[in-house]
């Protein structure tokens, strides 16, 4: 029997629309597939199990990084390499072949991790412009060499120590099949978490900033974007993406994508930051107490 190359970890909650497609896109490689499920109420677990995936269940802790690191701690990983994959993501055949070749290549003995290029398919169309493609993300790493950074929002896989990383050429795709109402509901929740992260960057009330990975993108976000006036920055960001970075070339879907993701979402984050800071000034309560009262998050 051939040696397994990879352990793939997927977080799920009610992903029956996506999980079969996701597993099919990766299971032509010799791999163990583990589902960390938050007690789905649909057929996610049944579908995943029928396709040979191993399922572990854990109550949703309101934090992707906590859930993913729980998976790393509870999975008996026997392979040299580990991969993070989301249920609504699809690995292209070209990328799958590239991953196979790289993980089998003995010349990569000094490589600790691989960075993949992610793109979005929105309303059935690939978003190839607007400063959003490709997004480079560390998604494959040697076992015990990395973890999911302790962030409330926009968490990434990071190496414990500096190591050699390699960028793969072919992209993978985030292709969610839910409707636009679901998308806006989801991003409303993301906006709350993003607002909490922004407030933490300012007040450090979560005491976890030292665990974050420093990147150029984060430097721009924390030191330029977040220091701009709230009334202006979302407006400028949309125009930067849609006009100067040619988002309009993605057609009508590109207009919707850049407006919702580049303006509406960013503006909503700013409104929530403004509202929470206003309540902080008006009440004799801590930010943690205000966030719990307003949004139910135990921080």
Q: What is the mean pLDDT of each run of 10 residues along the chain (299 residues)?
A: 82 98 92 97 98 97 94 95 98 96 85 97 97 94 93 88 94 97 96 93 75 62 79 93 97 98 96 96 93 91
Residue 25, Ramachandran bin (φ over 0: left; ψ between -120 and 50: alpha; else beta): alpha
Instruction: Report how far apart, in Å, the C-alpha atoms of 220 and of each of 113, 120, 216 are.
Output: 24, 22, 6
Q: What is the pLDDT of residue 230?
A: 85
Per-residue pLDDT at 211: 46
pLDDT on residue 1: 41
Cα angle 58, 8, 209; round to 5: 65
The confidence score (pLDDT) of residue 43 equals 98
1 falls within a domain? no
Q: Tell me which of 174, 193, 208 is where a domain ends.
A: 174
pLDDT the model gives residue 215? 64
What is d(CA 112, CA 79) in angstroms, rounded to the nearest whole number?
A: 14
Of the residues 150, 174, 198, the one at which a domain ends: 174
Residue 187 lies in a domain: yes
Give the domain CATH number at 69: 3.90.550.10
With respect to residue 256, please indicate whether it lies within any of the assigned structural domains.
Answer: yes
Q: How far apart are CA 287 and CA 206, in angstroms?
A: 10
Asked if residue 287 lies in contact with residue 199, where contact means CB atoms within 8 angstroms, the answer is yes
Q: Do 12 and 39 share a domain, yes or no? A: yes
Identify the H or E element spanning 117: strand 111-122
Q: Give me the pLDDT at residue 227, please.
A: 80
Supply the pLDDT for residue 214. Answer: 54
Domain of 76, in residue numbers: 6-174
Identify the pLDDT of residue 299.
82
Give the per-residue pLDDT at 226.
Answer: 79
Q: What is the pLDDT of residue 210?
A: 45
Q: Same domain, yes or no, for 45 and 158?
A: yes
Write the burial class of residue 295 (CB in 10 Å: 0-12 exposed, 13-18 middle, 19+ buried). Answer: middle
Is residue 148 located within the same domain as residue 290? no
Same-domain check for residues 158 and 237: no
Count: domains in the chain: 2
């Amino acid at each position: 029997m051939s040696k397994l190359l990879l352990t793939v970890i997927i977080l799920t909650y009610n992903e029956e629309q996506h999980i079969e497609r996701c597993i099919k896109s990766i299971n032509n490689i010799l791999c163990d597939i583990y589902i960390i499920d938050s007690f789905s109420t649909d057929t996610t677990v049944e579908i995943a199990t029928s396709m040979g995936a191993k399922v572990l269940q854990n109550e949703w802790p309101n934090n992707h990084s906590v859930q993913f690191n729980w998976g790393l701690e509870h999975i008996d990983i026997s392979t040299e390499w580990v991969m993070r994959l989301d249920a609504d993501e699809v690995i292209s055949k070209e990328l799958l072949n590239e991953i196979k070749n790289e993980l089998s290549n003995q010349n990569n003995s000094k490589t600790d991790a691989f960075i993949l290029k992610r793109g979005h398919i929105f309303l059935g169309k690939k978003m190839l412009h607007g400063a959003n493609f490709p997004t480079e993300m560390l998604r494959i790493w040697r076992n015990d060499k990395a973890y999911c950074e302790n962030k409330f929002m926009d968490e990434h896989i990071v190496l414990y120590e500096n190591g050699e990383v390699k960028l793969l050429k072919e992209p993978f795709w985030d292709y969610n099949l839910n409707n636009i109402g679901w998308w806006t509901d989801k991003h409303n929740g993301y906006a709350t978490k993003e607002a909490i992260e922004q407030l933490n960057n300012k007040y450090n009330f979560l005491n976890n900033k030292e665990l974050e990975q420093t990147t150029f993108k984060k430097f721009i976000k924390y030191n330029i974007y977040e220091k701009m006036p709230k009334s202006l920055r979302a407006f400028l960001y949309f125009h930067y993406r849609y006009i100067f970075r040619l988002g309009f070339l993605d057609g009508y879907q590109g207009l919707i994508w850049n407006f919702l993701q580049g303006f509406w979402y960013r503006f909503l984050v700013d409104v929530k930051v403004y509202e929470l800071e206003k309540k902080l000034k008006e009440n004799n309560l801590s930010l943690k107490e205000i966030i719990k009262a307003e949004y139910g998050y135990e921080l």
